[in-house]
Amino acid sequence: MSPRVVALGGGHGLAASLAALRRVTEDLTGIVTVADNGGSSGRLREEFGILPPGDLRMALAALCRDDEWGRTWADILQHRFSGDGPLANHALGNLLLAATWDQLGDTVKGLHLVGELLGAQGRVLPMASVPLNIEADVRSRDVPEDITVVRGQAQVAKADGQVLAVRLDPADPPACPESVAAIDDADWVVIGPGSWFTSVMPNLLVPSLRAALVRTTARRVLVLNLVAQPGETEGLTPSNHLDVLAAHAPDLRLDVVVADAAMVDDDPLIVPAAARLGARLVCAEVASHADRDQHDPERLATVFAGVFSTARVNAAFDEEETRTWP
């Protein structure tokens, strides 16, 4: 029987996790952040008052099969219009989702319908039922005592300074009920990779969603990024990333932290940082050969399969223990 797996995040990071996880389970749910305010998503969000569809679209594309049907529909979903007209830079999948939501009047039903059209190997849900805004406290790199508030996911992602903390507006948004139920029923929950402050942390800041992450009996896996992101996480070590998570969700415990071996080789604090969250560290080569800042879905799938099949994942372990997957 396939494990029930839920993956949380947004953007390219969640897409990589979903593309990997669909290779190792037949019961997969992606829960997607809904705070994007830039590009095509931002325009549709502002014009129609809908959830930003971009990250939801990317998650659906990642769940498309590897056959001709799946590859064709993934390409169509991701297609962007060129030119200077009103459709310029809109992704077709964003327009498809907007039209489906307008027709059905139900975000979750619309996502399910598009998933059926694509033959998606899993389902996609929003983390919240309303569009969200991200605010961040950003410290100037030139004047450390100068801290400003930056508003908007697109703006925070490009912030010229050190992001100290993020929060949501509204601060207590309604979580998507189906997302909460999926976490409650899961065997495994996967968090990350992705933009740390704008894709990963927001999932931990929706109170009822975080409560589900804390109380679920599922085992929790965190996948670390491969590189620091200019602006958003510039200068942060892998162990710093774990410290950020602990600061934003101090009640959340983990079972496994997955990291690329090359990324953590020079970070002696990574194992104790994982241990403080209750997790053991699994090191593996998960980066793409072609693009070292992107996770390779097949390599990541191998690691997930190994982690899911290992009975020793629990909180009682030697702090110095790590596991290297071939």
Domains of the chain with CATH codes: 5-130+175-323 (3.40.50.10680), 133-167 (no CATH)
- What is residue 93's three-state secondary structure? helix
pTM of the shown model? 0.92
**pLDDT value of residue 266:** 87
**pLDDT value of residue 315:** 36
**pLDDT value of residue 319:** 41
pLDDT tens per residue across all 326 residues of the chain: 899 999 999 989 999 999 999 999 999 999 999 999 999 999 999 999 999 999 999 999 999 999 999 899 999 999 999 988 888 889 999 999 999 999 999 999 999 999 999 999 999 999 999 999 999 999 988 888 899 999 999 999 888 888 988 999 999 999 999 999 999 999 999 999 999 999 999 999 999 999 999 999 999 999 999 988 877 788 889 999 999 999 999 999 999 999 998 889 889 999 999 999 999 999 999 998 877 788 999 999 999 999 998 744 443 344 444 555 55
Q: Quick check: 4 and 190 in contact, CB under 8 A?
A: no
Write the CA distances from 62 to 30, 56, 171, 180, integer angstroms. Answer: 10, 10, 30, 22
**pLDDT value of residue 229:** 80
Q: Quick check: 140 and 147 in contact, CB under 8 A?
A: yes
Sort strands 147-151 and 133-139 into parallel, antiparallel or unpaired: antiparallel
Q: Residue 269: what are its φ and ψ, rounded to 5°?
A: -95, 0
